[in-house]
Structure 1
Amino acid sequence: MPFIETGISGLLVFEPKVFEDSRGYFFEAYNADTFSAQGIEYRFVQDNQSSSSYGVIRGLHFQLLPHAQTKLVRVLSGTILDVAVDIRTGSPTYGKVFSIELSGENKKQLLIPQGFAHGFSVLSERAEVFYKCDSLYNKESDGGVFYGDPALNIDWKIPSDKAIVSEKDQKQPNLADCKHNFTF
């Protein structure tokens, strides 16, 4: 099976089958039938791509309902530490952090459903990140959790003196003070 459980309901690692030969490689990064066969039914409507240098930490972000987004995240080149935090009130894993290295080399992807705060740090010199969303961006629905929340204790694998974080992300509230409308 190309889907690996993470121990958090709905949060899955997708490992596509990669075909390699002397010419290079080929794989299906997304196939609706493959996902549907596993009971995963999303209609992706927006693709996003970012380029970042070593030490960049982006997140932790989410959009409030009714504009919440499910994301399918992959890395085209370089390596990131991808992080998802369960912020669904009533979830048995509320506040639980899951992290995984995604890279252009390992081709793993992380399926992050609505109700999670998401972020990543760049571990390589540069990284190109691509992700599909099942809802369009809506600025008024922007929300976030402070990447350095001590209660979450996330190891971003970046020394603090090398971290590059936007002013917006530095001002996000801790999870305990975060306003959101997600329920399990």
Structure 2
Amino acid sequence: MNLLSPPPQLIRPRRHGDARGWFTETYNHDTFAALGISCTFVQDNHSLSAPQYTLRGLHFQTPSRGQDKLVRCIRGRIFDVAVDVRRGSPTYGKWVGAELSAENGQQLFIPIGFAHGFLTLEPDCEVTYKCSDTYAPAHDGGIRWDDPAIGIDWPLPPGVPPELSAKDKVQPLLADFDSPFPYDGCPIAPLS
């Protein structure tokens, strides 16, 4: 685990366009290192969420198999969220979120020690993300997407429940979670 990880960051890759379309560099080791992101990505994931308002999260992997993630939406739009779950952090239980879309091309970097989740804002959303460790079922964890102590302002229409997996319906509340993630001295900050 990176002892001095940066907080979650919104990444805005530059697009170079012409009459044919555009080109963008979604990951460059040196560019990310200049932002303080020095992890090595070893696994890429790709999900399709068919129904609008599918909610996936809030997920993480526990040490020694924690995962930094670099998330982007390649079709549709999502509301992507990171929640600080590092014990002793002055921003424990606080969250940041951003709309990621195929159109805006933005990405969210989520370091180890943060729970991650997203809500699809359109049907048939595709999300890809890079991870700094491979999937380890014995280290799979999560917390409730609707925990009132966290208070995520999910952009759901009034009275519309999200589509959830069976696992996400029964995740523990933050108050019942004994965090194995240490605070590294870097509090969560608003996304800019």
Distance 2:113 2:182 in 1: 7
SS of the aligned residue for 1:74 comes to: strand
Matched residue type, 1:26: F
2:139 to 128, 141, 144: 141
Matched residue type, 1:111: F
Distance 1:61 1:179 in 2: 15
Task: Choose 66-75 or 158-167, whichever is displaced more.
Answer: 158-167
Distance 1:109 1:38 in 2: 13
SS of the aligned residue for 1:44 comes to: coil
Distance 2:35 2:162 in 1: 38
The higher-RCO structure (CA 8 Å, 6+ apart) is: 2
Per-residue CA deviation, residues 61-113 of structure 1 (Å, 9 max, x unaligned), is: 01000000000000111000001100001112111111100000000000000
What TM-score results when the alignment is normalised by the length of structure 1? 0.92
SS of the aligned residue for 2:93 comes to: coil
Map 1:40-79 to 2 at 5 A.
40-52=37-49, 53-79=51-77
Matched residue type, 1:47: D
Map 1:69-148 to 2 at 5 A.
69-148=67-146
Kindly indicate whether residue 7 of structure 2 is the aligned counterpart of residue 24 of structure 1: no
Q: Which runs of 5+ in 1 are unaligned?
A: 1-8
Question: 1:179: how far off?
Answer: 3.1
Q: Which runs of 5+ in 2 are unaligned?
A: 1-5, 184-192
Per-residue CA deviation, residues 107-126 of structure 1 (Å, 9 max, x unaligned), is: 00000000000000000122
- Aligned residue in 2 for 1:166: 165
Distance 1:130 1:180 in 2: 27
SS of the aligned residue for 2:160 comes to: helix
Distance 2:109 2:149 in 1: 24
Matched residue type, 1:63: Q
Distance 2:156 2:167 in 1: 19
Matched residue type, 2:166: E
Matched residue type, 1:13: L
SS of the aligned residue for 1:36 comes to: helix
What TM-score results when the alignment is normalised by the length of structure 2? 0.88
Distance 2:153 2:34 in 1: 35
Question: 1:157: how far off?
Answer: 1.2
Matched residue type, 1:67: R
Flag the structure with higher strand content: 1
Q: Using a 3 Å threshold, how does the CA distance of structure 1 residues 39 and 155 change in structure 2: closer, same or farther?
A: closer
- Aligned residue in 2 for 1:4: none
Answer yes or no: is the 8 Å Cα contact 1:143–1:180 preserved in 2.
no
RMSD over aligned CA atoms reads 1.4
Kindly indicate whether residue 15 of structure 2 is the aligned counterpart of residue 13 of structure 1: no
Number of residues paired by the alignment?
Answer: 177
Distance 1:22 1:61 in 2: 40
Per-residue CA deviation, residues 125-182 of structure 1 (Å, 9 max, x unaligned), is: 2210000000110001011000010111112212343410111101001111113300
Distance 2:149 2:81 in 1: 15
Kindly indicate whether residue 31 of structure 2 is the aligned counterpart of residue 34 of structure 1: yes
